[in-house]
A and B are shown apart, each in its own frame.
Chain A
Amino acid sequence: MGGEVRKHPTIICRCNDVTIEDVERAIEEGYQDIESLRKRLRIGMGPCQGRTCIPLLVRILARKLGKKPNEIPLPTVRPPIVPIPLKLFLKSKEPGVEGE
């Protein structure tokens, strides 16, 4: 996200390389809810769907806003829960598509 980069940054979203500094900077910019932070930083938008980073993000945001973690609304859960290869959806008999 630009700005200063530490020599050993603490990455909290491994899918999209988002660091704790990125999160703190975005909160200071005014992104103060999980949905907005997700969209600004792409945190939780990678293949793991936020399994590791969203709980961390909730705690950071709660601390910054002086709230309890359970007072922070969680983002919408979207299907499928885990990434699925598209070939599993391709059982059609349309020519040129090899369903499996």
Chain B
Amino acid sequence: MRADVLIIGAGISGLSIAYTLTKRGVKDIVVVDAEYVGSGSTSRCATGIRASFTSEEHVVLMKHSVELWRELSKPEELGRYGLAFDQGGYVWTASKDESVELFRRLVTLQNSLGVPTRIVDPDKLKGLVPTMKVDEAKAALYDPTAGKSYVFDTLNAYLMACRRKGVKIMEFTSVRKLVASGGRVKAAVTERGEIEADTFIVAAGGGSKELMESIGIEVPLKNLPRHVMITEAFKPVFSPLVIDWDAGGAPFIVQTKEGNFIIGREIAEEPEKSLKSVRIDFIPTAIAPIAKWFPWLKYVRVMRYWMGYYVTSPDHHPIYGPVEEYENVYLACGYSGHGYMLAPVTGKLIAEWVLDGRPSIPQAERLTLRRIREGKLIEELAIVG
């Protein structure tokens, strides 16, 4: 079997890359995945989308991505329901004075890069997040351009659009290794035979590391387990994603389109730990700070709890684009927990690298594997949680 472009990984990134390439006229695209579409980190993510970050690279890329989320939510792009981007905003609450001071610095930084975040007082916060008990809040940082999207609708919209445009999606087809000679990757060896291609794109989440090792390239990625839970469904209560800045481990709550509340918090975890290793202590740890803001949560039932990996790079920024040793392989991995929100801009950037030789957003050029090899890691402009 052969293709013009072979994309390894049918998560949101792989599908977005495939879709963008078809829009730019590439015809013969194959996407392979070891399991079903979206089976890795995509289906497990908490679906938040925002540009309010603290490095120039992240802010600029995410800002482009938020614009693309809006664009791709129009019916003429990805069908009637599009990406269903719900721009309900993000709210970070502060209960300490020094956090409010930090928020002020972040707002200045983000505003200077074109992201219209602002500080809101507890009264305004109550208006933004109905039913929230704001007594302990000193202030909150509000990002009105942020939001969420329903992950399975988004995956379906991309998948159907790719299929309509003739992209071949091969599920349950694990790629065992890549084969290279003379500075080019020649083929991907799968459990169902070899696939030859002119261009290879590795968007395989944590699996990208092993695949690249098979052609002698070290991509330093760690799988960090993260936990989330979901409650029963209720009528729409509030739109923003709410994060407690001062509780540690960034506890958050967001209501999905279906009405369920997704609640998460970072707890101490070992990298590479199995996604089936249950940590029931996660539930009380995550719920305690959130129930302070929303006392009614005590009457709500938790339905399920699951884990997913933050496929993390050394500087918590994505690893994009070409590698020096091979002229026809491109990386799209290492998003460190932000792959879902980045997906539209990931598609744009990788398509530009493949077709134009370089991305149109200059900050993206700093995000290749070279920075890690040279030890020039991306620095955050403000230290955040």
Q: Are A90 and B284 in contact (CB under 8 A)?
A: yes
Within 8 A of B (CB), among A43-69: 45-47, 49
B382 at the interface (CB under 8 A from A): no
For A79, list chain B residues within 8 Å (CB): 278, 280, 304-305
CB contacts (< 8 Å) of B299 on chain A: these are 85-87
A92 to B278, CA, bound (A): 21
B297 at the interface (CB under 8 A from A): yes
- B166 in contact (CB, < 8 A): no
Query: Judging by beta carbons under 8 Å apart, are B298 and A98 in contact?
Result: yes
- One of B17-25, B33-41, B114-122 at the interface: B33-41
Does A6 lie at the interface of the complex (its beta carbon under 8 Å from any beta carbon of B)?
no
Residues of A with C-beta under 8 A to B155: 39
B370 within 8 A of A: no
A92 and B295 form a contact (CB under 8 A) = no
Q: Is the CB of A91 within 8 A of B305?
A: no
**B283→A96 contact, CB < 8 A:** no
Please provide the chain B residues from 275 to 295 with a CB less than 8 Å away from any CB of chain A in the complex: 276, 278, 280, 283-284, 287-289, 291-292, 295
Q: Which of B145-164 contact A (CB under 8 A)?
A: 152, 155-156, 159-160, 163
Interface residues of A in 69-97 (CB under 8 A from B): 76, 78-80, 83-87, 89-92, 94-97
Q: Indicate the member of A40, A49, A86, A92 with the most B CB atoms within 10 Å.
A: A86
CB nearest neighbor in B for A100: B298
**Smallest Cβ-Cβ distance to A29: which chain B residue:** B160
Whether B258 sits at the interface, judged by CB under 8 Å, is yes
A75 to chain B, nearest CB (A): 11
- Please report whether the interface of chain A is mostly helix, strand, loop or mixed according to DSSP: loop
B43 within 8 A of A: yes
In Å, the complex CA distance between A97 and B232 comes to: 20
Can you list, as one digit per residue, whether each of B179-191 has a CB less than 8 Å from chain A (1) or not (0)?
0000000000000
Give the contacts of B225-269 with A (CB-CB under 8 A).
231-233, 258
B152–A85 CB distance below 8 A: no
Q: How far is the CB of B322 from chain A (nearest CB, A)?
A: 32
Nearest-CB residue, chain B, relative to A94:
B288
How many B residues have CB within 8 A of the partner chain?
43
The yes or no answer to A14 lying at the interface (CB within 8 A) is no
CB distance from A96 to the nearest CB of B (A): 5
Partner pick for A83 among B43, B291, B303, B306, CB 8 A cutoff: B303
B111 CB, nearest partner CB in chain A, Å: 33
Query: Could you tell me the distance between the alpha carbons of A28 and B160 in the complex, rounded to whole angstroms?
Result: 12
Question: In the complex, are the beta carbons of A97 and B303 less than 8 A apart?
Answer: no
Task: Tell me if A86 and B231 are in contact (CB < 8 A).
Answer: yes
Please measure, in the bound complex, the distance between the C-alpha atom of A90 and the C-alpha atom of B37, giving whole angstroms.
37
Q: Which residue of B lies closest to A39 (CB)?
A: B152
How far is it, in angstroms, between the C-alpha of A39 and the C-alpha of B38 when the chains are bound? 10
Establish whether residues A89 and B36, one from each chain, have CB atoms under 8 Å apart when the complex forms: no
- Is the Cβ of A92 less than 8 Å from the Cβ of B36? no
Residues of B within 8 A of A83 (CB): 232, 301-303
Complex contact B156–A40 (CB within 8 A): yes
A65 CB to nearest chain B CB (Å): 13
Q: What's the Cα separation between A8 and B291 when bound, in Å? A: 42
Contacts of A89 in B (CB 8 A): 283-284, 287, 302
- The interface residues of chain B lying within 8 Å CB-to-CB of A78 are 304-306
A35 in the interface (beta carbon within 8 A): yes
Given contacts A49-B304, A96-B292, A97-B292, contact A87 B43 (CB under 8 A): no
Are B133 and A97 in touch, CB under 8 angstroms? no
CB pair A97–B298 under 8 Å, yes or no, is: yes
Query: Which residue of chain A is the closest to B260 with respect to CB atoms?
Result: A45
Whole-angstrom CA separation of A53 from B302 in the bound complex: 20
Contact across chains for B301 and A97 when beta carbons are under 8 A apart: no
Residues of chain B with a CB closer than 8 A to A85's CB? 298-301
Most buried by A among B39, B169, B172, B284: B284
Apart from A80-B303, A89-B284, 12 more pairs, CB < 8 Å: A35-B35, A35-B36, A45-B304, A76-B306, A84-B302, A86-B297, A86-B299, A90-B291, A94-B289, A96-B136, A96-B291, A97-B298
Binding site for A on B (CB under 8 A): 35-39, 43, 133, 135-136, 152, 155-156, 159-160, 163, 169, 171-172, 231-233, 258, 276, 278, 280, 283-284, 287-289, 291-292, 295, 297-306
Q: 15 pairs across A/B with beta carbons < 8 Å? A: A30-B169, A36-B36, A45-B304, A46-B233, A46-B303, A78-B305, A83-B302, A85-B301, A86-B298, A87-B299, A90-B288, A90-B298, A92-B284, A95-B292, A98-B295
